[in-house]
Chain A
């Protein structure tokens, strides 16, 4: 039934088509916002429908183990590039996260963005298309294309609607990402040529290139290029410096997308392409990967502790949280990898929510400085409750979502590298310190400035309640999601599904 429709193509291009719907409402924000949100909700419904039927789909054979859906068409034959989209459990989880995050992003920018609303919404939808493509592409050239395309809308989002040093931040963001990805482009082409030399087949298809026989030296170089591109997105220490600037100066919707999705494209790329394509080189670089991830966790936590700007603090906390994802990938062991993938979704949801909440506070108080607030528990109880809730989720309180991911990562890593797992565990304590300090200063300390604030309105309340329910559900009952990614994780880490 599903196979008859190009569902994946629809998923990728539906948001872009939504931009056309926006055209008649270009100068009427009141009409444009519901249209854009409607498109995003439709996309979310589509992913929800896929999720509800994945067990049925998994029975059907697509020719690629682990993939429920596959769409493959010739595209640029002169280059050997095909239009190949595929959906497996990991992609589906990421796609759901994408659709969800964009709904959050559209909802939080409902009032916050007042100028050039049509363009803003169109860029958001265009970016959704790009990110969907990244998570679904199975042809390396197509993947690279989406990987680059998603940067342009973000460049404009930060540069046009951002705050502070927005232009500096957006150019830094763009150049950092380009620096990594251009070398990856060369590596992709080189891999393609080596495979063509060995087999006579000119292709960029992932399942073909996986069969390339690479000498150790070449493999190390190619993996290094892929690793650099993904490590910048991740971001791994010391390539993280673009992140605090970009996250802080971006509009709230931009921060939600950056933290929720763009960082995940890095870890996803490593899981889908980097490790499977260059397994030996990846093994060789594992100690480096561990080290950088651990330094990142410790360093980001210390720096986060010293931040005065709430948004910047949460931005640094992202680096720390992504460090756990990195450790789980570096261990490349079924349990740890499962943890990493679940943690990607978890971090996207909680950090997105935290950025959204800081954005709501910023809209009211026009400042994000921690020192300006205090005693918010008494003034805006609803906001404070949710802020405390998401902060607790962020530090990994059992029963909430982050706990599941961090626990699995540490449990899996413990088997392969006990020392790393032990050090990473200490990092969780550091996370606790700076998040507790944040909540304590903002919500519970004595009132430091006479701010008159209004509590959450119905739109914000329903948005946060929906996210909070998701956080609880992912924390209490992660079974269905674990089932979803079980088969692909087993396939990736070399086990039997």
Chain B
């Protein structure tokens, strides 16, 4: 490894090393500025990624512009999640160094997933961050729901890991290599072996679990509801972004095989339809947002169906925009929850006035998820549908638009509760927000509005990252 490679890999090392250091520091001085230290490590990694344009190609890993783009995205989401959880965990009695340390570890693994160049590294990275989330989801030891969520996630997750591993093994058995570049079918080459195709299908299924695409989505609602809100915020944004990046890395493998188009087509359609329909009937805000995130990934999958027609860029743009909205909404849920989690949609009555910033963040996030301008979700949907029509997928585009219309209803239900229904019983005075919470809410909200009005810089950047 040369020093240039070291420079390029430094962000990942900062995160992984930071994770160990935080764990050790916790053993020496429990609870002493651990979150602050963790935030400093992520900020350091973020700064390094932005400021040092070093690129490197190592066995299994390559720091490309693509990897650096997603690293910046993951670090930003990680900082917001840490800011949220610092106060939230204190209120909820989640103490100990394992939380920030595990979160840093998850960020390092997610960063590695976006930089993988062979299937083994991809598998290791994907399973490492999923492993970290097993812990984070169930970290609230006194919560029965958290334990249930952790178990469900673990059982589903191990199954998907097994499927993913099986798929990789089949590809290796067929082609004798794990390197992505060598696995890509050559145009005009020999017909693809059934073994290869089965392997690719299994890998797709494994990733569908991570992205909660139907039919591998059933864990989502329970896990999102049971996990602490800041963890859900990270799980529903950063891990989705990293999994989508992994899928984007794998897409060249599908080239030249018509069947993959049909698979993605049905994944996208089923996910958009069932996610949005199921979200309609939820009474719990976290479950509603969970189903909504299923549906949102359906739109990202729709963009992947037409990946050669600019869909890959649209998917990446969509996931960034979705993440900003997801952080704003789950962040608001975290901030508005005190000792007990505020979960029912009806419990949000009148909170828009009692807690203006959190209410505004929630409302802006919901408008963005619903795809209503000037929130960025509109630009995301615009990009996705433009790509879909360019790729000739009119049926999917119309289905997507109609399901988006359905989604407006359940997003509005929360906005109605926030601003239009009077609070029941006595109105409890909102506690003053901490500075960390203000930043964690204001940044995703501002990003959502900014990207909705002026997405040009991000789109130009994506042009260079995903040529």
Interface residues, chain A, with chain B CB atoms under 8 Å away: 75-79, 116, 141, 145, 148-149, 151-152, 155-156, 159-160, 166-167, 170-171, 174-175, 178-179, 182-183, 185-186, 189-190, 192-193
Contacts and interface: CB of A to CB of B under 8 A. Distances in A.
Interface string B437-467: 0000000000000000011100110110000
A77 B462 CA distance: 13
B273 to A, nearest CB: 16
B421 interface: yes
Contact of A175 (B378, B398, B409, B460): B409
A155 B421 CA distance: 14
Contact of B405 (A78, A170, A178): A178
Nearest to A146: B373
B33 interface: no
B204 to A, nearest CB: 28
B367 interface: yes
Contacts of B389: 186, 189-190, 193
Interface residues of B, number: 34
B459 A78 contact: yes
Contacts of A145: 373-374, 378
B45 interface: no
Contact of A186 (B379, B398, B455, B456): B398
A193 B394 CA distance: 12
A162 to B, nearest CB: 9
A141 B374 CA distance: 12
Given A152-B372, A189-B386, A179 B420 contact: no
A78 B456 contact: yes
Given A76-B459, A145-B373, A171 B385 contact: no
B270 interface: no
Interface in B385-433: 385-386, 389-390, 394, 397-398, 401-402, 404-405, 408-409, 412, 416, 419-421
12 contacts: A78-B459, A148-B378, A166-B420, A174-B412, A175-B409, A179-B405, A182-B405, A185-B385, A186-B401, A189-B386, A193-B386, A193-B389
B102 to A, nearest CB: 38
Given A148-B372, A167-B420, A79 B409 contact: no
A182 B463 contact: no
Contacts of A186: 385, 389, 397-398, 401
Contacts of A75: 454, 456
Interface in B170-201: none
Nearest to B381: A185
A148 B382 CA distance: 13
A239 B367 CA distance: 25
Contacts of A79: 382-383, 386, 459
Contacts of A116: 353
Contacts of B386: 79, 189, 192-193
B372 A151 contact: yes
Given A166-B420, A167-B420, A167-B421, A148 B373 contact: yes
B405 A76 contact: no
Nearest to A77: B456
A190 B385 CA distance: 10
Contacts of A179: 405
Given A79-B386, A149-B373, A155-B412, 19 more contacts: A76-B379, A76-B454, A76-B456, A76-B459, A77-B460, A78-B456, A78-B459, A151-B372, A159-B419, A171-B412, A175-B405, A178-B372, A178-B405, A185-B385, A185-B401, A186-B398, A186-B401, A189-B382, A192-B386
Contacts of B367: 152
Given A145-B373, A185-B382, A171 B416 contact: yes
A272 to B, nearest CB: 19
